[in-house]
Amino acid sequence: MNTNIDSLLNSLADQTKAHLEQLGEQSPLIVGIRTGGIWVAEHLHRALNLSNTIGVLDISFYRDDFSRLGLNPQVKPSQLPLDITDQNIILVDDILHTGRTIRAAMNELFDYGRPASVSLAVLIDRGGRELPISAQMVGDAVELPAHQHVKLTGPEPLALEIITTD
C-alpha cells in the first residue's frame, strides 16, 4: 500500500480532474463524508481550485447498523445546499470497504434533491465489498485480510495506518 499521502491525493486530484472533463463539469459540488472524507475533500477542493463551498455529510442516522450500535454521541449536522437537484456531485470518503457508508451517504444526498450525477472519490479502496458500490476515482487499492483495517488520521498531518484486530 502506498502510504505517501501527497502522492495519493495528487493521483486522486488528477483522476477527478479527468473525470470532470469527461462530464464537461467546471463547478461540481464536492461533498465529504465526516470525518476522514472531509479531510480528503478539502485537499481535492484546493487541488481543483473550486470556489464553491464543500458539502459535509454526517451519515450517522442513515447507517443500516444504527439500531444495533445505538446513538453516536458525536453526531453533527450535515451541511449541504438546500437543493442539490441537477448538480454533479463528487462524493468523497477516505476508505471504501463494505460500501455501507457510501449507501448511507447516497440515501442522505437524495433527501436533499435529485443530483444530475454522483461520482465517488476515495483515498483508499480496501476491498471487501458487501454492496455493489465502486469508486470512479481511487488514490490506491489494497487487499487486506479481514482482521486488518486501514485508518486515516488527521487532519494535520494526514497519515494512513493499518490496524490489526483480533
Number of folded domains that form the chain: 1
Domain of 26 in residue numbering reads as: 5-164
Among candidate residues 51, 55, 56, the one with its CA nearest the CA of residue 26: 51
C-alpha cell of residue 111: 433527501
What's the rounded Cα separation, in Å, for the pair 124 and 107?
Answer: 22
How are the residues of the chain apportioned to helix, strand and coil, as percentages rounded to the nearest 5?
Answer: 30, 25, 45
**8 Å CB contact between 95 and 8:** no
**8 Å CB contact between 50 and 13:** no
CATH (domain of 128): 3.40.50.2020
pLDDT attached to residue 154: 94
What's the rounded Cα separation, in Å, for the pair 137 and 92?
Answer: 9
Give the pLDDT of the chain (166 residues) as one tens digit per residue: 788 999 999 999 999 999 999 999 989 999 999 999 999 999 999 999 999 999 999 998 786 665 554 555 566 778 887 789 999 999 999 999 999 999 999 999 999 999 999 999 999 999 999 999 999 999 999 999 989 999 999 999 999 999 999 7
Q: Which residue has the cell 469527461?
A: 22
pTM, two decimals, is: 0.92
Q: What is the DSSP letter of 164?
A: E
pLDDT attached to residue 63: 66
**Can you state the angle between helices 5-23 and 36-47, rounded to 10 degrees?**
60
